């Protein structure tokens, strides 16, 4: 809250009323609040009397008529007297009278300032008391406790935590201990209570953290009549409470956030026409849908950057105006079967990978870079033999891994991790690894961390650390289940979500691991459902 808002009695009254409603039984805190409220009102009455002495009326609605403006508007006679005094147009007696009037009014103005500061101090004390009340009675929080608010604020620091989303909802974990801080469960209609969300294909498959808010995309393969929460949900990142929730009827694809707006893409298929995507625009603070528009393409991913939306689609790359979908530039792809991964924008350059499937043989991929403003191609790599799922970048290089089937065993995969110069796309190094790299690596402090799946015996799932300059292996740790999300580097650790979604011999579940930089396991956390999204706030 800005300092000037402390002097607004309307806001002060709202805060006091809200504070008084937090408990129904009198206690020491409540009595203190009543005493402060009485003192505040007494000071406000004194302030109003000073206001009358200044001949400004008794309206103390500072928010509607700032008192500084009121004084400047009603003090014109004083300014005229001062001007005439400086010009020597009055007698010495008039000068003395003007000086006395000025001194007296200046003293009254000083009194106004003093009273306003006193009222502001009382409000600050009330807020501190309210914060202490919440800390005693509110939900469990991490060690980085912040004041819980009742509205999204994208300008503050995101509360520290490991946020995982999946078919059960969202769970927040303490990043240092692995203990659960809070959980938010997907709510189904009454007719489906008792049915696991995974049976309906319902889950949180994308999370965006901004300020005190977690924006979650809840996707369901079931119809809207059977799954009540398909759409986008804004959660309080501090305690998991719901700020707002909006249902979206069509098939959901992706979510992006920028300029205070939430962009949600949906897909509609038609037997005759090509797929149609709609982009819905919601106010990030209120959840109110501002507008939507349609594009004749299938949008795989959206990336917001510098007031533009960058789209990976079944037609190629597009940069559009977020407000109305006007195409700024495009890079169409003529290949019949291809997939473009999420676009990454760094220092005015768009980086992405294209995966080309071939019915006559194995797939191949390449990495390409484009000018973010014009769409002009800057460089591309030679063909990479395998499928690329996503890429990672630092200031020097682009890193990626590939998936290839073993020629002799279907459940055994081979992989390779590559590094390319970020300025020209020239290869730096390549390192073979056991298992497929089915998500993007993460690079931090000169180390590339790579998740692999299905190694030599089909179960060789690992997290492997490679030197970012040379590609040499630093350490390798086994993980239990196999299918991993993009790992996240934060707090001097590496967080990996390891999910078993396909093995019928084992129960559905996920493990989240936190490794220190030297490969030491700090903690691991098990959850009884599939996890589809992982984000970490330091």
Percent of the chain with pLDDT over 90: 45
Cα–Cα distance measured from residue 354 to residue 312, given in angstroms and rounded to the nearest whole number: 10
Q: Residue 42 pLDDT > 70, yes or no? A: no
At residue 316, what are phi and psi to the nearest 5 degrees?
130, -155
At residue 12, what are phi and psi to the nearest 5 degrees?
-60, -45
Query: Using an 8 Å Cβ cutoff, are 341 and 325 in contact?
Result: no
Q: Residue 44 pLDDT > 60, yes or no? A: no
Q: Which residue, among 366, 343, 371, 344, has the nearest Cα to 355 in the 3D structure?
A: 366
Q: Could you tell me which residue, 225 or 358, shows the higher pLDDT?
A: 358
**Mean pLDDT lowest among 3-17, 212-226, 356-370:** 3-17
Eight-state DSSP code of residue 463: E
The confidence score (pLDDT) of residue 30 equals 47
- The mean pLDDT of 223-238, rounded to a whole number, is 74
Cα–Cα distance measured from residue 139 to residue 240, given in angstroms and rounded to the nearest whole number: 9
Q: Could you tell me which residue, 182 or 199, shows the higher pLDDT?
A: 182
Residues written for the chain: 538
Mean pLDDT rounded to a whole number for the chain: 75
Q: Which residue, among 235, 228, 295, has the nearest Cα to 265 in the 3D structure?
A: 295
Percent of the chain with pLDDT over 70: 62
- The mean pLDDT of 457-478, rounded to a whole number, is 86
Q: Which residue, among 506, 458, 466, 463, has the nearest Cα to 484 in the 3D structure?
A: 463
**Mean pLDDT lowest among 58-72, 273-287, 470-484:** 58-72
Burial 234-272 (b: 16+ CB within 10 A, else e): bbbbbbbeebbbbebebbbbbbbbbeebbbbbbbeeeee
**Mean pLDDT lowest among 210-224, 263-277, 329-343, 515-529:** 210-224
At residue 238, what are phi and psi to the nearest 5 degrees?
-75, -45
At residue 501, what are phi and psi to the nearest 5 degrees?
-110, -15
Query: Using an 8 Å Cβ cutoff, are 198 and 530 in contact?
Result: yes
Place 18 in a pLDDT band, splitting at 50, 70 and 90.
very low
Maximum average pLDDT range among 3-7, 78-82, 525-529: 525-529
H, E, C per residue of 76-93? HHHHHHHHHHHHCCCCHH
| Beta-sheet strand order (sheet of 299-305) | 299-305, 308-313, 316-320, 327-332
Eight-state DSSP code of residue 385: S
The confidence score (pLDDT) of residue 324 equals 96
Q: Residue 6 pLDDT > 70, yes or no? A: no
The confidence score (pLDDT) of residue 85 equals 35
Task: Quote the Cα angle for 118-123-125, to 5°.
Answer: 95
The confidence score (pLDDT) of residue 60 equals 39
Cα–Cα distance measured from residue 9 to residue 32, given in angstroms and rounded to the nearest whole number: 19
- The mean pLDDT of 371-390, rounded to a whole number, is 94
Cα–Cα distance measured from residue 34 to residue 45, given in angstroms and rounded to the nearest whole number: 17
- Would you report the helix, strand and coil content of the chain in percent, each value rounded to 5? 20, 40, 35
The confidence score (pLDDT) of residue 111 equals 53
Task: Please enumerate in sequence order all residues whose Cβ is within 8 A of that of 358, keeping only pairs 6 or more positions apart, or say none.
Answer: 337, 364
Q: Residue 501 pLDDT > 60, yes or no? A: no
Maximum average pLDDT range among 10-24, 73-87, 319-333, 380-394: 319-333
Cα(first)–Cα(last) distance of the chain, in Å? 24
The confidence score (pLDDT) of residue 415 equals 85
The confidence score (pLDDT) of residue 203 equals 86
Torsion sign across C-alpha atoms 524, 528, 534, 535: negative
At residue 303, what are phi and psi to the nearest 5 degrees?
-130, 125
The confidence score (pLDDT) of residue 347 equals 95
The confidence score (pLDDT) of residue 243 equals 96
The confidence score (pLDDT) of residue 217 equals 95
Q: Which residues pair with 317 in a beta bridge?
A: 312, 331
Query: Using an 8 Å Cβ cutoff, are 535 and 488 in contact?
Result: yes
CA 178 to chain CA centroid, nearest Å: 21
Q: Residue 84 pLDDT > 60, yes or no? A: no
Pairing of strands 261-268, 308-313: unpaired
Q: Residue 14 pLDDT > 60, yes or no? A: no
- The mean pLDDT of 439-466, rounded to a whole number, is 84
Cα–Cα distance measured from residue 220 to residue 228, given in angstroms and rounded to the nearest whole number: 9
426-442 pLDDT, tens digit each: 999 999 988 888 889 99
Helix (H, G, I), strand (E, B) or coil at 348: coil
Cα–Cα distance measured from residue 309 to residue 445, given in angstroms and rounded to the nearest whole number: 30
Place 400 in a pLDDT band, splitting at 50, 70 and 90.
very high
Side-chain-side CA neighbours of 27 within 13 Å: the count stands at 10
Q: Could you tell me which residue, 98 or 521, shows the higher pLDDT?
A: 521
The confidence score (pLDDT) of residue 65 equals 39
- The mean pLDDT of 152-176, rounded to a whole number, is 94
Q: Could you tell me which residue, 23 or 365, shows the higher pLDDT?
A: 365
Q: Residue 387 pLDDT > 90, yes or no? A: no
Place 363 in a pLDDT band, splitting at 50, 70 and 90.
confident
């Amino acid at each position: 809250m800005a300092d000037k808002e402390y002097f607004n009695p309307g806001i002060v009254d709202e805060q006091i009323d809200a504070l008084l409603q937090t408990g129904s039984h009198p206690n020491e805190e409540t009595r203190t609040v009543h005493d402060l409220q009485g003192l505040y009102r007494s000071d406000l009455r004194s302030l109003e009397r000073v206001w009358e002495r200044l001949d400004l009326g008794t309206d103390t609605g500072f928010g509607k008529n700032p008192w500084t403006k009121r004084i400047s508007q009603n003090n014109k006679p004083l300014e005229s007297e001062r001007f005439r005094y400086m010009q020597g147009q009055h007698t010495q007696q008039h000068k003395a009278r003007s000086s006395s009037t000025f001194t007296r009014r200046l003293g009254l103005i000083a009194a106004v300032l003093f009273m306003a500061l006193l009222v502001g101090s009382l409000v600050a004390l009330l807020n501190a008391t309210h914060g202490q009340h919440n800390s005693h009675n509110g939900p469990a929080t991490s060690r980085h406790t912040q004041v819980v608010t009742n509205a999204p604020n994208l300008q503050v620091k995101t509360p520290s935590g490991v946020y995982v989303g999946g078919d059960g909802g969202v769970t927040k974990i303490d990043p240092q201990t692995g203990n659960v801080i809070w959980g938010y469960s997907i709510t189904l209609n009454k007719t489906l209570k008792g049915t696991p969300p995974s049976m309906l294909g319902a889950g949180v498959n994308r999370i965006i953290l901004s300020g005190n808010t977690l924006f979650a995309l809840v996707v369901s393969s079931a119809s809207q009549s059977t799954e009540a929460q398909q759409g986008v949900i804004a959660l309080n990142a501090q305690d998991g409470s719901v700020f707002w929730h909006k249902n979206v009827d069509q098939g959901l694809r992706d979510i992006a956030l920028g300029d205070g707006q939430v962009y949600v893409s949906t897909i509609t298929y038609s037997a005759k026409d090509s797929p149609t995507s709609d982009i819905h625009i919601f106010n990030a603070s209120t959840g109110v849908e501002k507008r939507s528009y349609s594009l004749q393409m299938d949008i795989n991913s959206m990336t917001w950057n510098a007031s533009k939306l960058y789209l990976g689609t079944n037609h190629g790359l597009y940069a559009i105006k977020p407000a109305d979908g006007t195409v700024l530039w495009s890079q169409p792809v003529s290949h019949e079967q291809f997939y473009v991964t999420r676009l990454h924008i760094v220092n005015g350059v768009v980086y992405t990978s294209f995966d080309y499937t071939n019915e006559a043989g194995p797939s191949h991929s390449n990495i390409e870079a484009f000018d973010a403003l014009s769409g002009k191609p800057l460089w591309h790599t030679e063909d990479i033999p395998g499928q690329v799922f996503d890429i990672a970048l630092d200031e020097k290089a682009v890193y990626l891994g590939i998936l290839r089937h073993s020629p002799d065993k279907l459940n055994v995969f081979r992989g390779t991790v590559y590094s390319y110069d970020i300025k020209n796309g020239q290869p730096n190094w390549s390192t073979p690894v056991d298992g497929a790299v089915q998500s993007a690596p993460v690079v931090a402090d000169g180390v590339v961390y790579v998740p692999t799946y299905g190694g030599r015996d089909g179960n060789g799932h690992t997290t492997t650390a490679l030197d970012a300059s040379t590609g040499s292996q630093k350490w390798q740790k086994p993980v239990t289940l196999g299918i991993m999300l993009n790992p996240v580097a934060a707090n001097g650790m590496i967080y990996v979500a390891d999910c078993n979604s396909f093995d019928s011999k084992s129960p559905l579940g996920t493990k989240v691991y936190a490794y220190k930089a030297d490969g030491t396991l700090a903690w691991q956390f098990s959850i009884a459902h599939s996890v589809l999204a992982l984000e970490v706030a330091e």
